[in-house]
Amino acid sequence: MKNLVFSCALWLCATFVYAQNADSLVFSKGNVVRANQILSKKEAFEVLGSNPLSAKELEKAKNNNIGSSVLGGIGGFGLGYGLVDILFKREQGYYIAGGGLAFALLGIPFSVAANKRYKNSVELYNKGLKPNSSYLKPVLLPSSNGIGLCLKF
Cα 139 off chain centre by = 39
The dihedral built from the CA positions of residue 78, 80, 83 and 87, taken in this order, carries a sign that is negative
pLDDT tens, position by position, 67-106 = 999 999 999 999 999 999 999 988 898 999 999 999 999 9
Check residue 22 and give its pLDDT. 52
Answer with the residue of higher pLDDT: 115 or 44.
115
Handedness of CA 115, 117, 118, 124 (dihedral sign): positive
Would you kindly state where each structural domain of the chain is located, as residue ranges? Answer: 25-130
Which pLDDT score is estimated for 72? 95
- Inter-CA distances, 45 with 9, 15, 32, 74, 105, Å: 45, 36, 10, 27, 28
pLDDT in tens, 13-37: 655 555 555 577 888 777 888 888 8
Strand partners, 112: none
Q: Give the C-alpha distances (Å, rounded to integers) separating 153 from 2, 6, 132, 137.
A: 25, 19, 10, 6
Task: Work out the mean pLDDT of the chain and round it to a whole number.
Answer: 82
